[in-house]
Structure 1
Amino acid sequence: MSRKVMIIGHGGHSKVITDVIKSNPHLELAGYLDDKYDQIIYRNGLYYGPVLVASQFIKRLSVRLIIGIGNNEVRQKVAHKLNIPSEFYMTVAHRSAVISSSASIGSGTVVMANAVINADSQVGSHCIINTCAVVEHDNVLGDFVHISPNATLAGAVKINEGAHVGAGVTVIPGMEVGEWSVIGAGATVITNIPSQCTAVGVPAKMKVKEL
């Protein structure tokens, strides 16, 4: 029997999650919840409705949820606003993803096509491990982290809550990225990055705000 999954958010990121769900024969897409819908409708086999009806669908259809929003801060705000227990969120991975049996992945996290999560890595809840991203052995990723396409985290890297690692970034072994920081696309991180800052370039350096 297939498990029904409802995606919260109906924009670009949800399209990719839809494909992840479709790649899994034991999962079935139930529909989308987004505040652009002001009431529940049923069309072409899918439900649509506002975000705050999520709990109704858990009760009515026994669905599990995924927050399909790419922005880390918005994804966190939606999770906190809904205040739904973690067991009602689905962790999903594309069939082409490679995930070590010793890795742990939190609820609501999505692992995209051809991504890799290697041995003894810990990935938090509501994370995005995007297309072809590599999370090497012994990494620790906090909740609401986004590892963008083709980014590579070498061994024993720590990415703290809410951090965004841009497309094509490389983080060398043992480095740490602070909470809610952003690493710009293509950067190479060779030193620890503090919390709530933006770092860009090769090697990655913190951007200085213009006066």
Structure 2
Amino acid sequence: MTDLIIIGAGGHSKVVQDIVAANTDLDLYAIVDDAFDETNEADGIIHANTSLLDSLNIERYKFCIAIGNNVVRKNLFDRFNMPIERYVKLVHPSAIISKFAKIGYGTVVMPNAVINADTIIGNHCIVNTNAVVEHDNNLDDYVHVSPSATLSGVVSVGEGTHIGSGAVVIPLKSIGSWTTIGAGAVVVNDISGNVTVVGVPAREILTKGDEVNE
């Protein structure tokens, strides 16, 4: 049995805790969050400020950063500066994952998600409930594929990108880093980095002063 510490106590953490409860080889030791001022114990689980980590021998524990925001998740990983191997790969038992797929450290796969053959998913990613990541996809670190989103075959997604709920990416498309694909969008063209796209077909949201590129 492996003692696990979850970093983060918000809504996303609740779902992660359910996944931990469904895995018989994990025992939830503590939940730490900067919002906690005091240390308490409930149902055998410690709830404490993240400063608790400073007093622990991290070699005794595994960890999961249970934060849905990609930027915050990356910042916390950088802040704690723990070896990547200390982070677990959490997979709900109902998820379907090809034996030929590769899942990175710290990545969480939610209930009923599907990850198909020869897909590579980086570290600290989230493949959320009912999401489908088809064959030969490549997802860099800190990507979040939201509930019921579909990435068709041979899709590439850059670091930190967020694929919104119910979005669809057709085959052979590339999406840059730290981009947001809006909920329900349909991506039919390559998307650059650091933009937000919405709609069917997905188009970049323009901000004041931007020029429309036809």
Aligned to 2:146: 148
Aligned to 1:206: 204
Q: Give the residue type in structure 2 aligned to 1:22.
A: A
SS of the aligned residue for 1:196 comes to coil
* Pairing of 1:1-211 with structure 2 (within 5 A): 2-54=1-53, 56-59=55-58, 62-211=60-209
The answer to whether the 8 Å contact 1:121/1:139 transfers is yes
CA RMSD of aligned residues (A): 1.3
Q: Percent identity?
A: 45
Between the aligned partners of 1:58 and 1:200, the Cα distance in structure 2 is 45
Alpha-carbon deviation of 1:55? 5.2
The answer to whether the 8 Å contact 1:58/1:64 transfers is no
Alpha-carbon deviation of 1:82? 0.5
User: What do the CA deviations read for 1:18-60 (whole angstroms, capped 9, x no partner)?
Assistant: 1111111111211211011234433330112222433544448
SS of the aligned residue for 2:76 comes to helix
Q: Give the residue type in structure 2 aligned to 1:208.
A: L
Between the aligned partners of 1:79 and 1:59, the Cα distance in structure 2 is 14
* TM superposition score normalised by structure 2: 0.94
User: Which segments of 5 or more consecutive residues in structure 1 lack a partner in the other structure?
Assistant: none
Q: Give the residue type in structure 2 aligned to 1:130.
A: N
* TM superposition score normalised by structure 1: 0.95
* Structure 1 residues 200 and 138, CA gap change in structure 2 (3 angstroms): same
Q: Give the residue type in structure 1 aligned to 2:62.
A: R
The answer to whether the 8 Å contact 1:52/1:82 transfers is no
SS of the aligned residue for 2:30 comes to strand
Q: How many residues align?
A: 209
* Structure 1 residues 21 and 210, CA gap change in structure 2 (3 angstroms): same
Between the aligned partners of 2:152 and 2:16, the Cα distance in structure 1 is 25
Between the aligned partners of 1:171 and 1:23, the Cα distance in structure 2 is 31
Between the aligned partners of 1:79 and 1:207, the Cα distance in structure 2 is 30
Between the aligned partners of 2:177 and 2:124, the Cα distance in structure 1 is 15
Between the aligned partners of 1:204 and 1:59, the Cα distance in structure 2 is 44
SS of the aligned residue for 2:15 comes to helix
Between the aligned partners of 1:7 and 1:183, the Cα distance in structure 2 is 28
* Structure 1 residues 163 and 59, CA gap change in structure 2 (3 angstroms): closer
The answer to whether the 8 Å contact 1:134/1:153 transfers is yes
Q: Give the residue type in structure 2 aligned to 1:196.
A: N
Between the aligned partners of 1:19 and 1:114, the Cα distance in structure 2 is 13
User: What do the CA deviations read for 1:109-158 (whole angstroms, capped 9, x no partner)?
Assistant: 00000001100000000000000000000000000000000000000000
SS of the aligned residue for 1:4 comes to strand
